[in-house]
Structure 1
Amino acid sequence: MSTMTQTLLAATALSAGIAAATVAHSSELPADQAVRNVVLVHGAFADGSGWRGVYDELSKRGYRVTIVQNPLTSLADDVAATKRALDRQAGPTILVGHSWGGTVITEAGVHPKVAGLVYVSALAPDAGETTAQQYDGFTTPPEFVIDTQADGFGFLNLETFQAGFAHDVSDADAAFMRDSQVPINMSAFGTRLEHAAWRTKPSWAVIATEDKAFDQKMLFGMAKRIGATITEVAASHAVFMTQPEVVSGVIDQAAQSAGRAVR
Structure 2
Amino acid sequence: MNTLLKKCLAAAVMFGSLLSISALTPASAAPNDDLKGKNVVLVHGAFADGSSWQKVIPLLEAKGLHVVAVQNPLSSLDADVAATRRVIDQQNGPVILVGHSWAGAVITQAGNDDKVKSLVYVAAFAPQKDQSINDILKGKPAPSWASALQKDSGGYLTLSTDAIIHDFAQDLPVAQARLVAATQGPWFAGCTDDKVTQPAWQNKPSWFVETEKDRMIPAALQDAMAQQIGATVIKVDASHVAMLSKPTEVAAAIIEAARATK
Kindly state the Cα deviation for residue 34 of structure 1 after the two structures are TM-superposed: 8.3
Q: State the distance in 2 between where 1:90 and 1:29 align.
A: 21
Deviations 1:102-139 (A, max 9, x none): 01000100000000000000001012111211112333
Give 2:208's match in structure 1, choosing from 192, 205, 218.
205
Secondary structure of 1:90's partner? coil
Are residue 255 (structure 1) and residue 258 (structure 2) matched? yes
1:151 shift after superposition:
2.2
Q: Please tell me the residue identity of whatever aligns with 1:180.
A: T
Runs of 4+ in 1 over 3 A off after TM superposition: 27-31
For the 8 Å contact 2:37–2:66, the answer to whether it is kept is no
Matched, 1:154 2:146: no
Gap regions ≥5 residues in structure 2? 1-29
- Aligned letter for 1:49? S
1:136 and 2:138 correspond: yes
Count of residue pairs the alignment pairs up? 232
Q: In structure 2, what is the Cα distance between the partners aligned to 1:229 and 1:46?
A: 25
Question: Aligned residue for 2:91?
Answer: 89
CA distance in 2, matches of 1:226, 1:34: 28
Q: Secondary structure, in 3 states, of the residue corresponding to 1:61? A: coil
Q: How many angstroms apart in 1 are the aligned matches of 2:33 and 2:152?
A: 50
The answer to whether structure 1 residue 44 and structure 2 residue 46 are counterparts is: yes
Further displaced range: 54-63 or 171-180: 171-180
Cα distance in 2 between the residues matched to 1:125 and 1:230 = 17
Closer/same/farther in 2, CA of residues 256 and 57 from structure 1, 3 Å limit? same
Q: Specify every segment of 5 or more residues in structure 1 that has no aligned partner in the other structure, as ranges.
A: 1-26
* Residues 138, 215 of structure 1: 8 Å contact kept: no
Equivalent residues in 2 for 1:185-204, closer than 5 Å: 185-204=188-207
TM-score (norm 1): 0.84
| 2:80 aligned residue | 78
Q: Give the aligned partner of residue 20 of structure 2.
A: none
Following the alignment from structure 2 to structure 1, what is the Cα–Cα distance between the partners of residues 64 and 190?
39
Q: What are the within-5 Å matches in structure 2 for residues 202-241 of structure 1?
A: 202-241=205-244
Task: Work out whether 1:242 is the aligned partner of 2:249.
Answer: no
Which whole-Å CA distance do the structure 1 matches of 2:246 and 2:257 have between them?
Answer: 17
RMSD value, Cα? 1.7
Q: Which has the larger radius of gyration?
A: 2
Return the TM-score normalized by structure 2: 0.84
Offset of residue 245 of structure 1:
0.8
